[in-house]
Structure formats: C-alpha cells, structure tokens
Structure 1
Amino acid sequence: MVMRVCVYGAGAIGGLIAARLSRTGASVSVVARGDTLEALQRQGVGIVEGGKTGFHPVHAVAGADQLGVQDLIVVAVKQPALNAVLKQFGPLMDANTRVLLAMNGVPWWFLDGLPDAPSDTVLRCVDPQGDLRRHLPSRQVLGCVVHLSAAIESPGMVRLNSGNRLIIGEPCGEISTVTRAVAELLEAGGFEVELSAGIQRDIWYKLWGNMTMNPVSALTRATTDSMLDDPLVNRFCCNVMQEAAGIGRAIGCGVDQTPEQRNATTRKLGAFKTSMLQDVEAGRALEYEALVGTVYELAGKLGQEVPNISTLYGLIRLLARSATPT
C-alpha cells in the first residue's frame, strides 16, 4: 500500500524529507504558502546532494482542508509556529495517523512515558493552555532527532550540507510495527535511521548543546568558535550545561559526557552561525522556549536551583520580546 504523507514546514528539513519520501513512491503532500507554494506546484521539491540536483513531485497545497486523512504527518516547523499548526490537523488525522515531529528542543509531550517525570507533566512555556495532547494524543506522536545540516537555496530548493541521520521513537518507549514502517520508509528515502526505545534521552542530549550555543549566539551575534574561544563565555556555557545535566539525571535522561567534552566537539566544527542567530538576523521569531524555557520550567517542577539557566532564559526571553514587532 502506498503511504500517504503530509509535510508541514517546507524549509530545509521539511523540504529534504518531502523530496526523499517522494522518490520512494509515497504519496507526498506539502502544506506551504507564498513563493514556496508556487515553486513546489511548478517544479516539485528540488534537492542538491552529492553534487547532483534533482526535482521530486509533491502535491503542494495552501491548507490541510484540501487533503484527506494521512498515514503520516511530518512536522518540520519551529516551535513558535507549532501550536497553531497542530490545531489544523483535524482533517488529516484518524486514530491510525502518526505525526513525526522533526524539531529541536523539548516538546510538550516530553514527560509522557518517563518513569521519573514529575507529577505535573504539562510544560506551560510550550503548551500554555495545556491542550496540545487533546489535538495530538501522545500515543500518535513520533519523536525525531535530526542529525544533519541542510539549507534553503531558494523557495522549494534544498541543499544537504552534511549528515544524514534521524533518530525516531515513541514517547512510551515502545517500538511498534507502525514506527518500524515509518523507519523503513525513511530508510528507503536514503536516510540513516535509528530506532530509539528512549527518544527523550536522545532529545535531551541534542538539547544539551543547543540550549547554550543557540541563545548565546543570538545574544552576542557571535559564531560558535568565537564563543567557545572566549574563556568566560565557554565557562558560562559549561555552567548552564552542568545545571541541565542535573535536571536530566533527575528525570532519567543522564548524559555520559562533561560539558567540556561536548564543547570541544562543537569547537571542531569551526565557525558557523547557529539557527537562532540566523533567525535574529532575519527578524524571525526565536524558538527559545523549547530550548531554554522548558529546562527552566522543569527545574522549577523538580525544586532545583539553576542560577545560570535562569540568567540565560531571562536574557534570551528579553531579546525575543524586544525583537518582536508590535
């Protein structure tokens, strides 16, 4: 049976996934707007990888109401846009639909399925009304950690720069036959896919580096090499990560690395602009709540003092608010 797939978010990651799945023969629709919608309708998704350029057909539409029920929905938007997007899923879903969330940061469902989670599982900074589980039950979620770098060259045209790995898993830790089928589809599209029985740990590990590099770069307008070469900034980042590691241990998401080891690995990547710095420069909304706000909120639920995380959260929150157009 041909799998019906809808991709929300035709940026670099969403566009790459749509193109890769299209070439497997899946029926791929993409919800887009503006120049991107026009480009997808005209030529499909363009992808540049390995020195070659290819175009892959998709059914591009302006809204979910133009599609029927899907087997798989891939969400590749940033956190500030997510809540509104989830509330559009009604026409796309039945009880068998799965939703793959290819996003950074801690999601609203993160505490579901964690044995050591605090009793209050609602993360208000990303789920202010506490109603996202009503729109998307956790049992239909597939968490996805993206370990690759891609960029938009022009509307509807994606370049894969490096990496090719996706880690996917269910909040409850089960690896069901449906999840295996999604993994096989992604593998058929050319991704290296790892199935995880502890997707929250994988999310936390990636967050552990992102929660410092992204907001600090946005605040300082510095590339990662400059931040890590400054001993005071490097130490501050390590202190934030040390506090986050303590939160991780308390909820069963321990990290088998020191902050210094993780930063040394990041430093080897050279000079690059984080996604949050690029968002600041482009005047886009910042996804700071999923990267820092959730960690600060978790610390409060656990009764842990986190002075460095508190400072970072306050600063990036103030930057985000001052940069938001009135």
Structure 2
Amino acid sequence: MQSSGLSLLSAEGEFVVRPAHATDDPGTLPPQDTVFVTLKARAQPAAARAIASLLAPGGVAVFANNGIPWWWNHRGDGDAAPVGKLPLLDPEGALWSHVGPRRAIGCVVYSANEVVRPGVVRHAANNQWLLGEPDGRLSPRLQEIVAVLRAAQVRAEAVTDLRARIWAKLLRNAPLNSLCALTRLPVDQLALEPGLQGLLEQVIDEIAAIAAADGVDLSDRATAAKAAPRLGAAVDGSAAPSIRPSMLQDALQGRAMEVEAILGQVQQFARERGVATPVLDLLVPLVRGLDRAARR
C-alpha cells in the first residue's frame, strides 16, 4: 500500500487509492476521532491496546466483523461491568478493559471480497454497511460516521436494532462459512449436494431458534436464507455464483478462522438459553479442528 496504493477490482472497474498514511505501527499515528477496526474477531484482543492508543478523547472505534462481537453484553452505561465480558471472544478482557464498550460502535457488512495479493482486493457483490450503537441509540456520533461513509459512496445505514441485524446475517454466515470451509466448495456448489443443502437448512433453523430465545424473531428471514447457496449468498440475489466465504479463504491460506465469533459463541448462547442445536454441536468441534490444522 505504501508503494502501490490500495486497489479494488470490481465489475465497475478498477479503483486505486493512495492513503495519506499506511503503517504497520499504530504508534506512529496521531489520535483519531474514528478508528475502523477491520481485523477479524480472533485478532482483535491482541490489538486492544493499539486500538485504544489510537482513540482521541471522545473518539470511537467501529468494529466491522462477522458474528457475535465482543461488546455484545453492553446495553447501556449501567452494564459496562466485568460480568459483560465474553471469554470466547475476549479471553483476557483486553478489549473490554482497554477500548471499553462505551467507545465501540458495531457494524454489519454485506460485501463479498477476496484479497488477490497484498494491497489488491477483488469485490464480488454487495455494498451494504449497517452501523449501530451497542445501546441502540441513534446517537450524533453514529449519524456523523454514517454521513462520512455515504459521502465516500459506501451504502451505509444507522440502525437501532443492530443485534437483530447480526442474528440475521448469522443465518447465512454460520452455515455457509462452516460448510464451505469443511468441503472446500464455494457457496453455489453447496446446493448441488442434497445432503449439504439439508445441513445448511438445519443450521439456519437452529440459528433462528437461538435468536428467538434472545428475543429476535427471524422466522421470515430464515425461510429466505435457505435459498442462499442458489443465490451466491448475495443480499439481492445477483452476486457472482462462486463466492468463497471468509472461512474458506482462510482455510485455503492456512490462516486463523473466526470460529468463535461465528460459531462458538452462538453455540454458547444456545446452551445458556436451553436451545437444542445438534447440527451446530457437530460443526463447532469440526471447524475448530480444521482451524487448528490450518494454522499448524
């Protein structure tokens, strides 16, 4: 990025931008009003101090990642106690302690991309960013960040029901990521194997049941999500057919996967709420094993 900028390859053409600064040392940057954290969930705790050091007084960190976020249990100023930590996502409480949930904004991203090589990203489909406060407020800072994104031609929206939006994405994210990683098949190929299609639909039903136990009704969305492999996992059904979800990309590259955010913490919620999840209970140890093998 320092030498060649950052390139985006898409159906609309190739775009190259040259960031004002590109560094692998956050300590070289001045305090920021807004920090976008696009690290995958597994890498976030180790970067907690660096993220916190980048934040100016009153600054905010936008966490754009898949699955359940580390700040999930923070629903207001009276809830920022240690009991809110999620050990599977923030094992030592580093994010909770150094960044703090009051300085976090959540973000659900619908955008299929793949890193072709360092500094070059191929965009396959979608451009939808849903941002929300952990406590559900439509705060001034949230609206300001959304305005900045829209000015940059990012289709951003401020939402007051971010947790419901996270559950809705998990309907597709959990089964597609896990099954594609385990089989090495892109999304559209899952539909060609009836057994895989059946497993996918069962996981969707289990995710919907866990969400319902959490107070979120996804029954209509669950029905629609079962067609995801045939639609290439696109929000609007128009994506290129051979999308490779992030877990599949990571497995092929020998990188750590977002197992706990997408699967493990969801399973933990199910156990806490007494929801039976036989297929998810099978997938979690299999994908954890795959993650261990890929990293080794």
TM beyond 0.5: yes
Structure 1 moving runs of 4+ over 6 Å? none
Which of 138, 144, 155 aligns to 2:118? It is 155
1:301 paired with 2:262, answer no
Work out the CA distance in 1 between the residues paired with 2:113 and 2:151.
19
Structure 1's 132 and 146: CA in aligned 2 closer, same or farther, altered over 3 A? same
1:71 paired with 2:33, answer yes
1:197 paired with 2:160, answer yes
Residue 106 of structure 1 is matched in structure 2 by 68
For each residue in 1:155-202, what CA deviation from the matched residue of structure 2 results, as whole angstroms up to 9, or x when unmatched? 223343322211101110001111111011001111111110011111
Residue 179 of structure 1 is matched in structure 2 by 142
Letter in 2 for 1:46: S
Which of 36, 41, 61 aligns to 2:23? It is 61
Task: State the Cα RMSD in Å.
Answer: 2.2
Equivalent residues, number: 283
Which of 286, 296, 299 aligns to 2:257? It is 286
- What pairs with 1:43-62 in structure 2 (closer than 5 Å)? 43-49=4-10, 50-62=12-24
Structure 1's 286 and 54: CA in aligned 2 closer, same or farther, altered over 3 A? closer
1:242 paired with 2:213, answer no
SS of the residue 1:41 aligns to: coil
Residue 277 of structure 1 is matched in structure 2 by 248
Work out the CA distance in 1 between the residues paired with 2:217 and 2:71.
18
Letter in 2 for 1:165: Q
SS of the residue 2:136 aligns to: coil
Structure 1's 74 and 136: CA in aligned 2 closer, same or farther, altered over 3 A? same
Letter in 2 for 1:164: N
The two structures have a TM-score, normalised by structure 1, of: 0.80
Give unmatched runs, 5+ long, in structure 2. Answer: 233-240
Residue 290 of structure 2 is matched in structure 1 by 319
SS of the residue 2:22 aligns to: strand
Asked if structure 2 preserves the Cα contact closer than 8 Å seen for 1:44 and 1:58, the reply is no
Residue 13 of structure 1 is matched in structure 2 by none
Structure 1 residues 177-186 or 91-100, which shifts more? 91-100
Asked if structure 2 preserves the Cα contact closer than 8 Å seen for 1:67 and 1:91, the reply is no
Work out the CA distance in 2 between the residues paired with 1:271 and 1:42.
31
SS of the residue 2:130 aligns to: strand
Work out the CA distance in 1 between the residues paired with 2:172 and 2:201.
10
The two structures have a TM-score, normalised by structure 2, of: 0.88
Deviation at residue 273 of structure 1 after TM alignment:
2.2
Structure 1's 92 and 203: CA in aligned 2 closer, same or farther, altered over 3 A? same
SS of the residue 2:110 aligns to: strand
